[in-house]
Structure 1
């Protein structure tokens, strides 16, 4: 080997190894860049406007009136006192508003699809389109919050649940429109296409806070942070077990702090996304980046996922001090395929405690074995201080392509007490293992008899 090449390779590997330390200075700078919303002092109670927390009367007109009064006063706090408030339709935010759901209060949305018309500009599984309004929706707003110790119930387990079996036509049409660059104004879905709305969607918003509330029974994704930035989500809890009930989906999102969240979801707990296929790649100037997930309790399908819709790219993701409180299929899951393109890079995961999973750590560039022509770049992924009691399938999986290898994966201080399969690594360069134990730890070799 050429001596210069050898020196370069040694320098590169050494430099990569030195990067393994969790970059607290970077996470501190992200947190310092995140601004909490500034809410004016004006307050209005929906009860005083005429809303009845009797679970039967339609309170939507009074919530709409409260939002209009806040707009007139350049913002304020909408107070939802104790009671169950039925809303036959969505809440649409304006800027500078805090929706405060007090302890003992519940907002319960109707499950009649016609209540969520007219359609609004939204996104569905990574493709921009017009569809039913999310149940709580904000577009192009600043300084918005949902706080309090009350509950938001999306009533997703009845009518909306039946949409899952019927969504195929609409889903495939949306993807075809994505791939053929159909004009956005012509991407109209809603009635007859069975694409369920998200429960909460903040679209092109900034300075967002969601704090302490409980989220239950969403029709689709629970909290969708679309093309938004400067976001804090903390102290919230879930019981949302319907189809595709992802907990939090940052998509084209920047500067996000997710902390002290107790998940219990029918799908991914956190799924970081960045658009799908052709449309996503066209938005490569706005990847999802600078996302911190810490001190959370995972329960559901997967803990933290990146992908599979990540075509604009995902970078600078930091996960630390999290644990499971029940079964997960996979702990940390990075997934993309040859339809996506884009990149996943600079992912740091440390101090994670998993109980029983199917797979502990899983990185694949060949999700569902789909696609061609747009292989993704996956590089610079650092796992450290991770424990798992049992992996019923695999401890660690890394799957690249022969002509597009996954690069620079560091595994440091990993202990998986039991796994059917220990490690499966294909088409990966520069995978560094240090203090990795799968199964029983080996001791000194026994003497010959």
Structure 2
């Protein structure tokens, strides 16, 4: 009996030692991966050729259409090999989009407002874009760049989509166009034939850079977007820093990297009517064909406020990997903290998510991973591989529903998940794990910490017979 006991203790202590060593290796790997990424994310180079938008006839009185001046400035920049375009204080009304060219920095000085006229006719002709993970032609995003390099928007000014009276009212009308876009996706209709726009009610993004590299977006204030605020589509080497939001119209996601890589998102003040950050990589057939995952994304020192803080999915069929969420906190209410969502329509993978030192106040759900999002695709076979999730030092004062949720499928269980130093002071449903493998919890306090046990008292004797 003693030999058996010693053997059991040896195995138990051996497991703890291996686990501790493994955890230290994961932490070292996280730091090395992150620091390696930081060394290659540079953002845009900014031209020394400084010009003013007023040199091209812009007035900035909020009444006259200043779009022709912005078009001329971009044309001039293209001829000169690039420019740093200054927008001085004033309200610059644009009846139509800004289409960037390479090597352009648009600087909005403090007090400068770019305000878009939201009449849909101004955002035609159609441009090549993507809508909810499906590639197609649609209305032009209000600020748009395609196949460009070294582009930036900086400064303390404001970008106002002014979309509340038109585009923001379209969601109730979009179902037919949305269904058609997904049908074309699943039937692999050539993208050139997927032409939407007038009559289909698919809202354009406020800012979209598509197939671009070397991008910097910093400091500007963003409000009243027609749809997603910043959409980084098939782009790389991006810095988003110190942006500020008050964007509460319908589906006003803050930043949506899609099939994009090598991105730093830091020091952002979110205040959005939808997801703060939603990392995507294409829907279903289009995502599988893309073979370009969203990867190597660092999110740090952000203040979250809105629907969900950080989301992976649900359009993620090309995969999502190497995501770092560090030293973030809350600026107000969030429905969910970290939310990973996929279903058997999607396929693809989600792996190597590192969450370190993040705090929330009150949420509905704190950390929620589901392979059954929206109850869709449950009869399909495109199961997502979800694995290698590491959460260390996650705090929340109050969770109204679920603390830690992992919902895999029997066909593809979620695997290799570690929760370390997770503290939830008040929670209804603490832990709910389904179809999981190799899930470990280390030094976690769910529902409050337990202190020193009480000593026996005379009252306890009443229950002892």
TM-score in terms of structure 1 length: 0.96
In 2, the alpha carbon distance for the partners of 1:431 and 1:16 equals 13
Match of 1:62 in 2: 69
Match of 1:376 in 2: 384
Q: 2:365 aligns with which of 330, 347, 359?
A: 359
Q: 1:427 aligns with which of 431, 435, 442?
A: 435
Kept after mapping to 1: 8 A contact 2:399/2:428: yes
Q: 2:425 aligns with which of 414, 417, 437?
A: 417
Per-residue deviation, residues 319-361 of structure 1 (Å, max 9, x unmatched): 0000001110100111101100000000000110101100011
Match of 1:46 in 2: 53
Kept after mapping to 1: 8 A contact 2:383/2:411: no
Per-residue deviation, residues 195-249 of structure 1 (Å, max 9, x unmatched): 0000000000000000111111100000000000000000110000011110000
Q: How many corresponding residue pairs?
A: 442
Larger Rg: 2
Per-residue deviation, residues 366-407 of structure 1 (Å, max 9, x unmatched): 111110211101000001111101001111111001121000
Secondary structure of the structure 1 residue equivalent to 2:332: coil
Match of 2:318 in 1: 312
CA shift for structure 1 position 48:
2.5
TM-score in terms of structure 2 length: 0.93
Q: 1:135 aligns with which of 142, 146, 163?
A: 142
Q: 1:292 aligns with which of 295, 298, 304?
A: 298
CA RMSD of aligned residues (A): 1.6
1:332 aligns with 2:358: no
Map 1:201-350 onto structure 2 (within 5 A): 201-284=208-291, 286-350=292-356
Per-residue deviation, residues 55-98 of structure 1 (Å, max 9, x unmatched): 11000000000111101100011111000000000000000000
In terms of mean alpha carbon deviation, does 14-23 or 354-363 score higher? 14-23
Kept after mapping to 2: 8 A contact 1:20/1:410: no
1:156 aligns with 2:163: yes
Match of 2:180 in 1: 173
CA shift for structure 1 position 46:
1.4
Task: Flag structure 2 segments of 5+ consecutive residues without an equivalent.
Answer: 1-10, 461-465
Match of 1:440 in 2: 448
In terms of mean alpha carbon deviation, does 14-23 or 39-48 score higher? 14-23
CA shift for structure 1 position 33:
1.2
Map 1:85-164 onto structure 2 (within 5 A): 85-164=92-171
Per-residue deviation, residues 262-300 of structure 1 (Å, max 9, x unmatched): 00000000000000011101222x111000000000000
Task: Flag structure 1 segments of 5+ consecutive residues without an equivalent.
Answer: 1-5
Kept after mapping to 2: 8 A contact 1:315/1:347: yes
In 2, the alpha carbon distance for the partners of 1:395 and 1:407 equals 18
CA shift for structure 1 position 16:
4.8
Kept after mapping to 1: 8 A contact 2:423/2:448: no
1:26 aligns with 2:43: no
In 2, the alpha carbon distance for the partners of 1:19 and 1:306 equals 25
In terms of mean alpha carbon deviation, does 437-446 or 80-89 score higher? 437-446
